[in-house]
Every structure is written in C-alpha cells, then in structure tokens.
Amino acid sequence: MPMTITEKILAKHCGKTEVKEGEFIEVDIDVLLGNDITAPLAIEKFREWGGKRVFDSQKIVLVPDHSTPNKDIRAAQQSLLLRKFVREQGIANYFEVGRVGIEHILLPEKGLVLPGDLVIGADSHTCTAGALGAFACGVGSTDLAAAMLIGRVWLKVPSTIRFVYRGELRKWVTAKDLILYTIGDIGVEGASYKSMEFGGEVISRMSMAGRLTMCNMVVEAGAKNGIIEPDEITLNYIRTRSKREYHLYSGDPQAEYLEVKEYEVSQLEPQVAFPSLPSNTKGISQIGKIQVDQVVIGSCTNGHFEDLKIAAELLKGKKIYPDVRLIIIPATPSIYLEALKKGLLQVFLEAGAVISPPTCGPCLGGYMGVLGEGEVAVSTTNRNFVGRMGHLKSKVYLTGPAIAAASAIKGRIAGPEEVI
C-alpha cells in the first residue's frame, strides 16, 4: 500500500509494514521533550504513578526556556524541581541557564532530533521538528509522564494534506509570510488533526531555518504535525550535528492525500495576521495606519540568525521610533554568539533595542515584554489570541522580521520598502 512520509514513520515506530488514516497505534518514541512549565507537571504525575526510573535517560530532553533566568519564586521552584529530577534520573540532555535556548530550535541545532525520528513534546510547537523529516507533535503533560515511564504513546494516524508552493519569493517575503498566508487560506481549523506536508520548488530552495518556521506554525492551523521530506539541505544541516543513526523517508508517488493545495507565490507580499487569530491575514499593502507600542523579533518561529540578519539590514544606521520598545530575542546561545560576531547586536543596540537572552517569555505573556491594557505589539511569534502576550485588552499583530523591523522604525505597522 502506498504511504505518505508521515505514515511510513508511524508504521516503522509501531512495528507494522503499513498504517492507515484513522488507525490507532502504539508507537515507540525516540525523543521526549519537556520544559519548565510542562515538565514539572509530568514529573509530579510520574511520581504519583509510582515511577522510580525513566525508561531511557538518553531520550528525554528537558529545556527550561519559558522563564529563563527565573522571573519569580514560582518559576524558580519549577526549575528547581526540574534540576532535582535531572540529577536523580541521570538525564543527559538538560540545558541550564547560559546553555539553554528555545527548545524547538535548540533540539535540531544540537542534533537531538534527526530525520525519521518520532518526537513528542509537552509543548504544542514540538511540530517544528518536522522540518527535518521527523514525525513530531505536542502532547499533554500527563502523556509525557506516561511516556517517561514506558517510552511509548498512543496516536491516531492522521490524514495528510499536501501543500505545494510554486514560483520565486520576492525580496522581504519569507517562510513566515508563506505559513501566515497558508493559515489565512485554510483557517485555524483547516488542518485539524491532519498532517501538513510541504513541498514544491519554493520549499526545495528554502533554508533549514525557513523550513523550521513553516513546520512551527502548523499547529496554528490545527494540524497534528508538519513535515518536509529530507533532501540535500537537510543532510547538510545534520552532517555536523548527527550523534546517532537516522532514517530518510520519502512519500510514495501513489500515496493518497486528503487534499493537495497548490500556491503560486511569486506575487505574494509580506503578510500581517491581525488580532486575534493567526488566520486573520492581510498583505502589507492592505494595512491602514496602526500605531505600535512594542515590537518583538525572535521566538521559536523567527529567532534564527537569518531572521535577525533581515531585521539588522533594515535597522542599520536608524533609530527606532521614540514611543516604541523593540525586543530582540536570539533563539539559542549559538545564534546569539553569531549575531554578536557578525555585528548584528551592535546594530540593534545602536537603534535603541534591548537584547534578551534566549527565552519564550513574551510569546506567552510570561515576561520580557508583557503588554499592558490597550497596548499594541507587532511580533514575529506564532500566536495572537486574546491576552496571549499580556492584558486581555492588548493586541498582537503577527509578522515576519522585515515588517517587524520596519514597524519599530516607523512607530506603526509598515513595510520594509518604507524604510530602505
């Protein structure tokens, strides 16, 4: 029976020669991920169930990235619980302050997620790892606790929608614009419990950073996972990072898709998702005059070096608008260091920005940029739900790094052409 790449990975991990859409399967897990918000809940449940030892201390990755460094006593207690568990269980892959990065970028960077893997994480954006040709999805903390005990999890095999992108992207249009446009087209429930498989020449030419951005936001369309078949770009990325065996899977030519959607994107312009849904998208030419209080450039969606480079290109030699706060968040320490070496951090500081250590803080309204009543933010993060970044009466507009940087300069939502 012909299968998609997602179906092949699931079949391999449940010990079958084939699986079918809608089938319930129990799969072996290669990587389990938890953070400082979700892992403490899992650890408590693990102990409640009488857990003594985790099933495999090499396969669990704990990343305290949401409140790092600790923002208050509660955050400190959460992290302390994590540290004690790590020492007790001998968990190899734990990243302390100074080494910690945003989990969904850190794991691929460290070679902890590889093609063909089955990955679960107690964070909805675990789907990011699908960019490497892995099956990756978010789960609840209770599922994580059970998986830490037995190394397996129940899944339902999702049907697959294939998204094919043709043409050549215009300058300033990035993967973030592609995924926002796609979510705007299908809606936040358009891929509910589906696999979103990305392909076409635009994806084939796309960097690994761009692919990670695409897969990162499939959950904003309701998807179970996002995935891109591994190719030479994937192999070049993992060659110096791979620490164990990996498997390259590709979909069969006759594989059945629920739907195939094709986009010609040569005329696509930078996108903005209006409050309060990621699907509420418009092209930059359709935006009126919207004043901005804060701009955030970073997160697991757009904290890559290439994102920071785009922002720096626009900000170099300029100052941010007097009434705007600009927060820059490199996704990992290595990205931070590269930005330092290449002079990007100097550009940001001279423009009037503040540079944060790697953290998820402002994305979920935790800290490092919480919004007050009535404030408006432009953010390269992935969600703009009511109250997502702070006060229930604040507003968040989602964009890529180019619009975000231009908006910081103009003090209103602006396109990059307005500032170059």
Domain regions of the chain by residue span: 5-262, 271-414
* 243 has a pLDDT exceeding 90: no
Say how far residue 30 (Cα) sits from the centre of its chain. 19
* 1 has a pLDDT exceeding 90: no
Residues 271-414: name the CATH superfamily: Aconitase, domain 3 (3.30.499.10)
* 268 has a pLDDT exceeding 90: yes
Stated pTM of the model? 0.97
| Per-residue exposure over 131-150, b if at least 16 CB sit within 10 Å of its own CB, e if not | bbbbbbbbbebebbbbbbbe
57 within 8 A of 90, measured Cβ to Cβ:
yes
- Percent of the chain whose pLDDT exceeds 90: 99
* 400 has a pLDDT exceeding 90: yes
First to last CA, the chain: 54
Q: What is the mean pLDDT of the chain?
A: 97
Which segments within 123-194 are labelled E, that is strand?
A: 135-138, 152-156, 160-166
Mean pLDDT of 79-93: 96
Confidence of residue 264 (pLDDT cuts 50, 70, 90): very high
> The tokens 């190899």 sit on which residue?
92
For residue 37, what pLDDT is reported? 95
DSSP 77-132: HHHHHHHHHHHHHT-SEE--TTT---HHHHHHHTT-S-TT-EEEESSGGGGGGGGG
Mean pLDDT of 14-35: 97
For residue 68, what pLDDT is reported? 87
Q: How many residues does the chain have?
A: 420
**Backbone dihedral angles phi then psi of residue 343, each to the nearest 5 degrees:** 85, 5
Per residue in 310-335, pLDDT tens? 999 999 999 999 999 999 999 999 99
Confidence of residue 220 (pLDDT cuts 50, 70, 90): very high
| Per-residue exposure over 314-327, b if at least 16 CB sit within 10 Å of its own CB, e if not | bbeebebbeebbbb
Structure tokens at 213: 């951005």
Structure tokens at 1: 């029976």
Residue 17 carries which side chain, given as an amino acid letter? T
Same fold, 5-262 and 271-414: yes
For residue 238, what pLDDT is reported? 96
Which segments within 293-349 are labelled E, that is strand?
A: 294-298, 325-329
Mean pLDDT of 356-379: 95
- Quick one: 362 exposed, middle or buried, by C-beta within 10 A (0-12, 13-18, 19+)? buried
Mean pLDDT of 388-397: 97
| Per-residue exposure over 215-250, b if at least 16 CB sit within 10 Å of its own CB, e if not | bbbbbbbbbbbbbbbbeebbeebbeeeeeeebeebe
Mean pLDDT of 174-191: 98
DSSP-assigned beta bridge partners for residue 138: 121
For 5-262, CATH gives 3.30.499.10
Confidence of residue 346 (pLDDT cuts 50, 70, 90): very high
Mean pLDDT of 41-48: 97
344 within 8 A of 308, measured Cβ to Cβ:
yes
